């Protein structure tokens, strides 16, 4: 018994040592994991800072601007005075309205509008300073000059992919269109993809510009009248891609993690039609996976048929008081008498007044003085007036005695 008693504390001590060892090992593993993650983060931070430094040094050595364009090339591209002024005004617009200065996220009212109207909630908006005209909710006609239009609502972010298509309806050969995505507000005179937080496909060159008017990636072909350009957006990764007549291009645009609006720009007269999902897409995959901006039909119920009273409840109805009851203030009706004076009358008084009204009207007609319709006084020298006065009639056709002597009227003056 004594030996067993001495062995028990030894067993408990060994078990406690094993528990401490397990806790120590877990602590060491957690510290190692945290240290590894911190090390990886530090490495990424070092690489990012190094890349920024190298990029700035490269710009300084080569004389490049923030768009990666040399000063000589920039001057060459901006040799035109209008282009240079447009570029400088666009940069000033970016400084005045940086991204985030205006809240462009979907509000609760806009989300309710999308639920009620579905894809019909999206429509283009033409500002007063834009030389364009809305032909319908999704059709825009550019009248000339450099103009840009955007939709009223941004792209949602609840789904993994959103897609829409633009059809070129009219476009001369020397007019270019830029179709893509951009934040709001966006300069109304700048092409899509020329300013920050935007990406656009040029219809005449097949190049995609992102945040710069100088550099663009050539990914496709020229678009003609009748061609359809599609734009796809993946909000979780910020990737933008394009299709042409139902064929998807492999090249993508990345880094577009913003509140983006469908945007179309043009440098001349043209027109286009947008399809946000209200009808079938040319890109078949978008139809199968339902990549439209919203449901085809919303949840808004149509108004009831006029005169239909089924499934309705009559809350209250009017009642006519008896002769013994005093009129309540609610039964008093304000009338306007003939003298334009306000007077309060009860329903009983109204009935009595209506009974007296025909008698009063007859008495007024009897008391009204009669007017004798006589011809006005004429000069005695006028023979027709004299005949009318003698006949006592207002008829212009006078009864003339054929045996009477006719009075000659004075001759008319000669016409000049």
The pTM of the whole model exceeds 0.75: no
The residues, ordered by sequence, that sit 6+ positions from 232 with a Cβ below 8 Å of its Cβ are: 161, 162, 163, 240, 241, 242, 243, 248, 286, 291
Q: How far apart are CA 153 and CA 119, in angstroms?
A: 11
**Which architecture does CATH list for 114-288?**
Sandwich (2.60)
84-122 per-position pLDDT tens digit? 899 999 999 999 999 989 999 999 999 999 999 999 999
- The three-class DSSP label of residue 334 is strand
- Domain map (residue ranges) of the chain: 114-288
pLDDT digits (tens, 9 = 90+) for 6-58: 554 555 455 556 667 778 888 888 888 888 888 887 777 777 667 666 655 55
Distances (CA, A) of 45 to 25, 58, 139: 30, 20, 47
Please name the residue that has the structure tokens 């990666």: 68
Question: Can you give the pLDDT at residue 160?
Answer: 96
What is residue 189's predicted lDDT score, i.e. its pLDDT? Answer: 95
CA angle in degrees (0–180, nearest 5) for 388-393-394: 85
Q: What confidence score (pLDDT) does residue 171 get?
A: 97
Q: Is the dihedral of CA 321, 327, 333, 339 positive or negative?
A: positive
8 Å CB contact between 262 and 164: yes
Pairing of strands 216-218, 207-210: antiparallel
The pLDDT value given to residue 42: 79
Q: Check residue 298 and give its pLDDT.
A: 78
| Strands (E) located in 91-196 | 124-125, 132-136, 139-142, 147-151, 162-170, 177-182
Mean pLDDT, the chain cut into blocks of 10 residues (416 residues total): 51 59 83 85 73 56 52 65 88 92 92 94 95 96 96 96 98 97 96 96 96 91 97 97 97 95 97 97 96 88 69 68 59 47 55 64 54 55 67 54 53 53
Q: What region does 346 belong to: left with phi over 0, alpha with psi -120 to 50, or beta?
A: beta
180-195 exposure pattern, b = at least 16 Cβ within 10 A, e = fewer: bbbbbebbbbbbbbbb
Q: Which CA distances in Å does 137 have to 110, 287, 309, 317? A: 17, 22, 35, 44
Which pLDDT belongs to residue 211? 93
pLDDT at 297: 85
């Amino acid at each position: 018994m004594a030996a067993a008693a001495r062995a028990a504390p030894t067993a408990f001590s060994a078990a406690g040592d094993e528990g401490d060892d397990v806790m120590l090992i877990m602590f060491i593993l957690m510290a190692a994991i945290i240290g590894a993650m911190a090390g990886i983060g530090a490495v990424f931070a070092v690489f990012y800072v190094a890349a920024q430094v190298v990029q700035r040094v490269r710009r300084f050595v080569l004389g490049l601007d923030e768009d990666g364009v040399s000063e000589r090339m920039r001057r060459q591209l901006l040799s035109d005075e209008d282009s240079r002024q447009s570029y400088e005004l666009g940069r000033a617009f970016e400084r005045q309205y940086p991204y985030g200065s205006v809240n462009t996220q979907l509000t609760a009212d806009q989300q309710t509008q999308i639920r009620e109207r579905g894809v019909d909630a999206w429509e283009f908006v033409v500002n007063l300073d834009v030389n364009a005209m809305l032909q319908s909710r999704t059709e825009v006609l550019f009248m000339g000059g450099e103009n840009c239009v955007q939709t009223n609502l941004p792209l949602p972010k609840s789904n993994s992919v959103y897609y829409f298509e633009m059809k070129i309806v009219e476009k001369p050969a020397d007019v270019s269109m830029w179709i893509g995505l951009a934040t709001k507000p966006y300069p109304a005179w700048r092409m899509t993809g020329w300013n920050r937080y935007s990406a656009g496909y040029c219809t005449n060159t097949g190049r995609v510009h992102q945040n710069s008017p100088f550099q663009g990636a050539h990914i496709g072909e020229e678009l003609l009248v009748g061609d359809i350009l599609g734009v796809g957006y993946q909000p979780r990764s910020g990737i933008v891609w394009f299709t042409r007549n139902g064929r998807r291009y492999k090249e993508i645009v990345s880094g577009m993690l913003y509140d983006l609006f469908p945007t179309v720009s043009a440098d001349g007269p043209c027109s286009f039609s947008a399809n946000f999902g209200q009808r079938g897409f040319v890109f078949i995959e978008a139809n199968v996976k339902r990549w439209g901006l919203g449901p085809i039909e919303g949840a808004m119920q149509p108004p009831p048929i006029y005169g239909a009273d089924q499934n309705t409840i009559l809350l209250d109805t009017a009642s006519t008081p008896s002769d013994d009851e005093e009129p309540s203030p609610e039964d008093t009706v304000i009338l306007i008498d003939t003298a334009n004076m306000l007077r309060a009358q009860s329903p009983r008084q109204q009935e009595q007044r209506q009974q007296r009204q025909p008698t009063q009207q007859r008495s007024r007609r009897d008391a009204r003085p009669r007017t004798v319709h006589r011809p006005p006084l004429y000069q005695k020298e006028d023979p027709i007036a004299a005949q009318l006065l003698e006949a006592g009639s207002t008829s212009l056709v006078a009864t003339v005695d054929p045996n009477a002597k006719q009075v000659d009227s004075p001759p008319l003056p000669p016409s000049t």
